[in-house]
Chains A and B, each alone.
Chain A
Amino acid sequence: MLIKMIEIIIQAIKNLRREGIRTILTLIGIVIGIAAIVSLISVGNGLSLYFEDQFESIGSNSIFISPGSAFGTGTGSTIQITDNDVSFIRNLSRVDNVVAEYALPATIKFNNQTKSILLFSVDKEGYEFFKDAGYIEIIEGRLIEQKERGTIIINETMANDLFDKEINLRKQVLLNNEIFTVVGIFKFSVNVPGMMPGSGMALTSLNGLERIYNVTTPVQLIVRTLTIDDVESSAQEIKDYFEKKYGQKSITVLTSDQAIEQFGSILSVLTLVLAGIAGISLVVGGVGIMNAMITSVLERTKEIGTLKALGASNNKILTLFMLESAFIGLLGGILGSILGLLAGSLISIIGSQAGLPLKISFSPELILGALAFSMIVGILSGLYPAIKASKLDPVEAMRYE
């Protein structure tokens, strides 16, 4: 049986090679489709892995709290988190520490130019944690001290690109007409959720921030619980507190797991939709296989008749043709996966040079899935031609011109 199977496989390969350029073209159709799907999914998976990393580096015992309901309110107003709210959370029994992040737009004057930047800060209790957690990396100079009132550190973009002249260490700038000294230049080592990288950003102490804004309210709180097991219950306690005080939809409370899940599910829906659109080409490729197999059956009608006359069963003929089309599918899948991973790597290289967090992930599931999928496409497309071949009447077939 096994030997017979091998014989049929060898025969199938021989037949495919006989078709030459046409087999190659049919193959290319499948290769293109699989490559498109594999590259999209590998980039999509890479992206969601990146987000997972980001959240995990902050710690899975974290809870993110931001004002407003989850799906954004545009310019609509949200509640303002007060000091009382923050101390309520700090006093919860299972809460270890709370980082309150502040961010405000500020007007900066330097070298006779006026620009608008985002000025942010963390409160005193959050400062140590913020410093230790490695959110930011100091490239030049030093970090601000929490008790300082007149120092800022600025991001690379602001130092190099925002003004006609570079801002160097120890330069003085005017923030909303107050004098601040630049003591360091930093970059984000992880993207702190809620703080978008990009344009000009400066970090000052809360004392510094209070010099230019009377009333400030945190844009986000990062709460860390004592153990991972406390996350769910603390999150619920915080949510209940805010909803009782400000009404439903007043606050968004996300645990690390929920945040990863949300990002992950948005990304995977997006990836699936895109892969689905690219997958249309695979259907077209399948039609191509079917067409090639029908042609092949027609051309080999006489040969099939002879085989049958010599005693080949209908089943054997069916298997032979199915194998041929499955083989086209499989081979297309292998070549397509390789090409797709190459394309994915290329996209990620170009993307990371443009500053996007694109990494691709080579998962064995993806490759196996792609191979299985392309083989199924091959088998389905080959079904009709193979049945047609197996049902040929040997007498008629041998007479066929």
Chain B
Amino acid sequence: MIYDLFNEAIKNLSRSGIKTYLTLLGIIIGIAAIVSLVSIGSGLGMAVEQQLDQLGGKTIFVIPGGFQNIRIKLNETDISNFESIRNVESVVPVYSTSAILEFNGEKINVSVNATDSGDKTLFENTGFFNVKEGRDFTRNESGSILLGSEIAENYFEKKIEIKKLVKINGKDFRVIGILKPLPQSFGGGPDPGNTVLMSLDAFKRISTNLNPTIIFINATDKESVPQVVDDIKDYSDKKYGDKSVNVLSSDNLLETINSLLDMITMFILSLAGISLIVGGIGIMNAMITSVLERTKEIGTLKALGASNNKILTLILIESALIGLIGGIIGILLGFGLAEVIAIIGTQSGFALIAVKSYEIIFGALAFSMIIGMVSGFYPASRAANLDPVEALRYE
């Protein structure tokens, strides 16, 4: 029986031709806008997640509070106290200063970071600084530096290549590698694409400032990260005051970034969602017209014994179908649009990914069908409650 009603509904819709298409178009536009926004929005979250996954989930960032170069000063004692915390494998402080980088006659101010690379690779040690070209420096190499890709490629009129000699605060250094930038900059972390990185021995040639600006602490395993985070917080809160030191693990970093992204996505979605409401009104309007036009027909159906319920169901199926079809086309269009945005975005340097998940598809379909049914309800009940005698007489 439902099947018959279904068939009837499709016939009625195709009979209305252009009017049905226009109503559909309204829903398609709304759903496409929402789907593309959600797709890009969750892609942003995913890019961050991928980045954090690379850290293996074992690295904790400790960033002294304050801003720019004016921060709480952590010292050697703090570092050795961090080392003695249970389940801490290694503590890697990063020191930094601002310096003049000179190349090809141009002088540009840059931020210089220094770290003890130890026996492991830089990336194993910090999970943050990753060499994309060239090689790591070793512990006692005091004349070698790594350049952030942004500095190497865009700061100077001429690109700085590997093996080139540059001057930092007047001292000679050789570029041995290029650092990979992060697709998203982390809350408060240094930007590896925009920094010069060197060994501690090299750093001592240009600066005497040995207060860490960030400390990477590696836990022995993923499970002990929350305990280590708590212990570091307890220690620094007691010594320097509440929230004086930011302690971030990949998990809580992800949480913070995701909750921020979710908020932005929700806000933009609600703006785009306005168009769906307008589309829903369009469905209601189309169904009202359709009921009016078919008054006589509905009267006949009722006179032939069709129940109120059957008429209600018929009209509801029609409007739900408009919603559903609009949803399907809208999803396809939305994903296509998201793909285009992602491609354009990637070309202009943003890490955008168009995520296509079942959640988005089902969510959009459910949503568009609900819009269809809610909008169809008033016209459907109007049709169902028509008096057959009056309806048959209607001109």
Residues in chain A within 8 A of chain B (CB atoms): 21-22, 25-26, 28-29, 32-33, 36, 40, 67-69, 73-80, 103-105, 107-108, 114-117, 217, 219, 243, 246-251, 274, 277-278, 280-281, 283-285, 287-288, 290-292, 294-295
Contact = CB atoms under 8 A, between A and B. Distances in A.
Contact of B278 (A32, A80, A247): A32
A73 to B, nearest CB: 5
Interface string B84-96: 0000000000001
A278 B272 CA distance: 6
Contact of A68 (B68, B100, B185): B68
A67 B23 CA distance: 57
Contacts of A73: 68, 111, 191, 194
B33 A294 contact: no
Interface in B18-34: 18-19, 22-23, 25-26, 29-30, 33
B242 A78 contact: no
Contacts of A36: 271, 274
B282 A288 contact: yes
A248 B108 contact: yes
B70 to A, nearest CB: 6
B240 A76 contact: no
Contacts of B19: 291, 294-295
A292 B195 CA distance: 60
Question: Taking chain B's interface residues, is the majority helix, strand, or loop, or is none over half, making it mixed?
Answer: mixed
B214 interface: yes
Contact of A114 (B72, B237, B268, B275): B237
Question: What is the size category of the interface that chain B forms with chain A?
Answer: 35 or more
A77 B213 contact: yes
A80 B237 CA distance: 28
> Which 4 A-B pairs give the minimum distances between C-beta atoms?
A76-B111, A250-B109, A116-B241, A116-B244
B243 to A, nearest CB: 6
Contact of A246 (B23, B109, B213, B272): B109
A274 B33 CA distance: 13
B189 to A, nearest CB: 6
17 contacts: A22-B289, A25-B288, A33-B275, A36-B271, A68-B68, A73-B68, A74-B194, A75-B71, A105-B244, A116-B65, A247-B102, A277-B272, A280-B275, A281-B275, A283-B29, A284-B275, A284-B282
A77 B96 contact: yes
A114 B186 CA distance: 28
Given A116-B242, A247-B109, A280-B33, A287 B68 contact: no
Given A107-B240, A247-B101, A33 B278 contact: yes
Contacts of B391: none
A280 B237 CA distance: 49
A247 B110 CA distance: 9
Nearest to B378: A21
B268 A287 contact: no
